Structure 1
Amino acid sequence: MASVIGGAPELRDSSRGERPESDRLLADSVAQGLVRFDATGQIEPGIAERWIVTDEGKTYIFRLRETLWSDGRPVTAQEVVAILKRQIAAASRNPLKPYLTAIDSIVDMTPQIIQIELSYPRPDLLKVFAQPELAIIRLRDPAGTGPFRIAHRSRYSLLLTPVRELNRSPDETPEKAPEDNVRLIGESAARAITRYAARRSDLVTGGTLRDWPLLQIAAVAPNNIHLDPAAGLFGLAIVRRDGFLATPENRAALAGAINRSALTGAFSPDWPVTEQLLPEQLDSATAPALSQWVALDQDSRRRQALASVAAWRRAHLEPLQLRVALPAGPGGNLLWARIGADLLAIGIQPERGAADDPDADLRLIDAVAPYDSARWYLAHACAPCNEAASQAIEAARVAPTLAERATAIAAADAAMAADVTFIPIARPLRWSLVSLRLRQWQPNARAWHPLNRLRAAPK
């Protein structure tokens, strides 16, 4: 039995908008894409059995394997092309659509072969296609191709049965083992943790910072709690560039005032901090750029912030207030306590807003990167950024060669570091509760754990 933090899972089409984690896990389980993620977060075949990438990542050719819809009809390339076109259409609200703008055409070459042509090189596109938002879901009687199918549905849970059992005759079907079927439950973090602590489930997945403090009061053994080395952004976007936040110097003072070690340590000693926007070089032409405040020790950062705030208050003869948009929940409360204390310590009156507060000066970005391109980090953190960075980010999107793309990315990174557009704090905090018998579970940078990779391999 597996619990995913979120509402009751439903199989929905991603062109209709963003979905909760429970829906994403269900889609990955019963409606794989052209490719999918394995237990380590690497690419493995989905409905495509093999593929080639040519022309610096401008042409992708997929050969589909023989597979069936839930009603027994064979899946054809024509159907898959129509579904993919729906996800990138003008009216689509698929959250991955902004990362698919380079796609020029999707055509079925034969009943088993699909060719995707791009206007600009994207050698990292396979990891986008592996996301559950691009699972191949048929709209009529929504269904997919496995690796599971829905055997029974109740109000809050689904019983998932491996496709291999449904495709075999009774004489060919091996004797059932407890791990063959999976009951997937979508529920709140509190309920999921309580269920796990009572030994009524083997897995809780989809955990974030928002609910982490609940683990500290739950009777769960430490060796069952696992953190993913999630790649992505966790930090404060500067969404209002006026008042105190109008200058790079003041933004740098604010960035340096955050005591990252104390903040992450309040959650877990295993949660690593970061002081740079890009986690590594990725597809940039240079190593990640660093803002000048990074070279200072914590005491020097605090003194610089105190001086900047004092100078602003003398010039404006009024208190300095900043509104921070943070998520609700116990994790959001703990995060607010740490950030609020750091702001108070340098003379800023902090105010807390909801995650979607339109009047916020600062807003938490907590997102796992869907693929490994530096441009994702830059575009996601630019909320907003200066003209030089914006132009470089756009130049990277439309660059005709990988070398030009890498140069534009490096320029955008340098511009954002100098402008102090974003305040990096740590990697995204993603956690799971994992039974010791689920030996196939592995931490990974995607923080994604396919249900079919938790089970023993079929014999």
Structure 2
Amino acid sequence: MRFPALPLAVALALIAGGCERRPDDVAVVVSAIGGPPELRDPTKVELGFTQSVLLGATAQGLVRFDAVGGIEPGIAERWIVTDGGRSYIFRLREAEWADGTRITAADVVASMRAAIAPRARSALTPFVAVIDEVVEMTPQVVEVRLKHPRPDLLKLFAQPEFAILRRAKLAGTGPFRIAAAARGAPLLRPAIDPTQMPDEPTEPDPADDVRLYGERAAVALARFAARESDLILGGTFRDWPLLDHAGIAPANLRIDPAAGLFGLAIVSEEGFTADPANREALAMAIDRDALTARFRPEWTPVETVLPAQLDSASPPKAPDWFAEPLDNRRLIARNRVAAWRAANPGAPPTIRLAMPRSLGSKLLWYQVAADLRAIGLQPAWVDEREDADLRLIDAVAPYDSARWYLVTACQTCPEDLSAVIDAARDAPTLGERARRIAEADLALSAAHRYIPIAQPLRWSVAALRLRAFQTNPRAWHPLTHLREP
């Protein structure tokens, strides 16, 4: 059975539940929720989810993620961090490009320099500005030198955006190679390790292959229910409501303990949101327990920008209204709305919320709209690319730094607030950086530029035969860690 582009109603009609296993001697079939699986250069275009999965599978970095979101060797077989976190030295293993040419330190240096260049289109580029230079020490050793100490960059280097590439051909070193470029569903086959060549040539084992689809969540769920796939990756709040109709067995549904941001950035300096006290009123109005319960009871709300202290000198700054009951918060918020309307007669009390169009967005909209109406405001849903007062942020943290949370939550902040956050980036010592991060957390909280709601909701559907599959805080699942060896 094939699922080229089924309408939602047809796709859901095919879903009939069940969790019978597919045979163990066939390729693993993976559906990544998103666009078509195409190789793209992350220095020229920001990657979509499916593109990230394909690039991560065919072009590893110096290091890569394991099944639990930890770091394991990629092209580098080992590494050390020296000079108080200012120098990362990587020794390369024996690896080959697809044409059999040995990869060298010069290849790695060229690829890394392109990835960290200020002109690179990657969303992660701002977080590697601390890198001073990447140099070839020997044909097998590469050093990454930093302007300031950062002992936490390995998780960034494991991201697909920092894959080691021959950019002219968009070729990587594995761990998979594209064996058959079938339209919309390439077949991936493990790359041959030059250090473990058998004495006699052997035929590839089909069970080691992976077939990768990029498709809408409804089609992916239909494919899984028809037992024509083993894994769905990339589930978010957007498609969560589909699971109510999919009949997915509890044993197959996997929820990642994803670390990151799910909330509303305040992006307008006009009207009601021009005043920090009014921006605080918006945050006070949100019933986080009711909102997250619309999706799943176990989805825990949050009230702070930072999920934990991380590399800050202080615990996350809780809002002043943290201990107030919801009714009390809303009374204060209603009074602020009334005062603003009295001072601005004739001004529309409209709050524009920019979100993607999806079933999950509708659930989010119903609750947020009701919360805003409860304090006397008129919500309006606009396209995610249109001008707005509030804009949804739904992002998994690529690494465990408080600065990522502050920068991501404050993407449209005024220059004075951005300067406070940037001061942490430029801090000369780890102690000074931690203090600057704590100051930035306080400043962002005082400015009320971001409304925390929860951690990101990330889900997958995995067949029981994928015994090595594990949930993790990065919500990233390498295709090399799906089945036990």
Q: Same fold (TM over 0.5)?
A: yes
Q: Give the C-alpha shift of residue 282 in structure 1.
A: 0.4
1:13 partnered with 2:41: yes
Instruction: Give the Cα–Cα distance (whole angstroms) in 2 for the partners of residues 363 and 223 of structure 1.
Output: 35
Distance in structure 1 (CA, Å) of the matches to 2:161 and 2:76 = 16
Instruction: State how far apart, in whole Å, the 2-side matches of 1:30 and 1:128 are.
Output: 18
Partner of 2:357: 328
Q: Which residue of 1 aligns with 2:145?
A: 117
**How big is the shift at 1:383?**
3.4
2:384 matched to which residue of 1? Answer: 355
| Match for residue 341 of structure 1 among 370, 384, 388 | 370
Partner of 1:55: 83
Report 1:271-350 matches (<5 A).
Answer: 271-318=299-346, 319-350=348-379
State whether structure 2 residue 185 is matched by structure 1 residue 157: yes
Deviation at 1:314, TM superposition (A): 2.2
**Other structure's SS at 1:104 match:** strand
CA distance in 2, matches of 1:421, 1:56: 34
Aligned residue identity for 1:341: A
Is residue 94 from structure 1 mapped to residue 147 from structure 2 by the alignment? no
**Count of matched residue pairs:** 455
Q: Distance in 2 between matches of 1:164 and 1:435?
A: 27
C-alpha separation in 2, matches of 1:234 and 1:262: 15
Partner Cα separation in structure 1 for residue 451 and residue 383 of structure 2:
19
TM-score w.r.t. the length of structure 2 is 0.91
Alignment partner of 1:264 out of 292, 300, 308 = 292
Normalising to structure 1: TM-score of the pair? 0.96
Separation in structure 2 between the aligned mates of residue 77 and residue 302 of structure 1, nearest angstrom = 60
Matches of 1:432 and 1:331 in 2, distance apart? 16
After superposition, where does 1:97-108 map in structure 2 within 5 Å? 97-108=125-136
Rounded to whole Å, the distance in 2 between the matches of 1:147 and 1:286 is 40
The aligned residue for residue 204 of structure 1 is: 232
SS of residue in 2 equivalent to 1:215: helix
Look up the equivalent residue of 1:162 and give its one-letter code.
P
Which of 111, 126, 131 does residue 83 from structure 1 map onto? 111
For residues 311-335 of structure 1, give each alpha carbon's deviation from its aligned partner in whole angstroms, at most 9, with x where no partner exists. 2222223341110001111111211
The Cα shift of 1:45 comes to 0.5
Check the 8 A contact 1:389/1:413 in 2, yes or no. no
Q: 1:192 and 1:421 mapped to 2: Cα distance?
A: 37
**Runs (5+) with no aligned partner, structure 1:** none
- Amino acid corresponding to residue 381 of structure 2 in structure 1: R
Distance between the aligned counterparts of 2:405 and 2:226, measured in 1? 40
Deviates most, 279-288 or 313-322: 313-322
Tell me the C-alpha RMSD between the 2 structures: 1.7
CA 1:92–1:71: 2 relative to 1, 3 Å: same
CA distance in 2, matches of 1:155, 1:175: 22
Runs of 5+ in structure 2 lacking a partner?
Answer: 1-28
Identity %: 56
Shift of 1:385: 3.5
Secondary structure of the corresponding residue to residue 392 of structure 2: strand
Instruction: Give the letter aligned to residue 354 of structure 2.
Output: A
Q: Which moved more, 1:5-14 or 1:87-96?
A: 87-96
CA–CA distance in 2 between the matches of 1:132 and 1:348? 42
Task: Report the more deviating stretch, 295-304 or 63-72.
Answer: 295-304
Task: Tell me which residue corresponds to 2:19.
Answer: none
Deviates more, 1:415-424 or 1:441-450: 415-424
How far 1:106 sits from its partner (Å)? Answer: 0.6
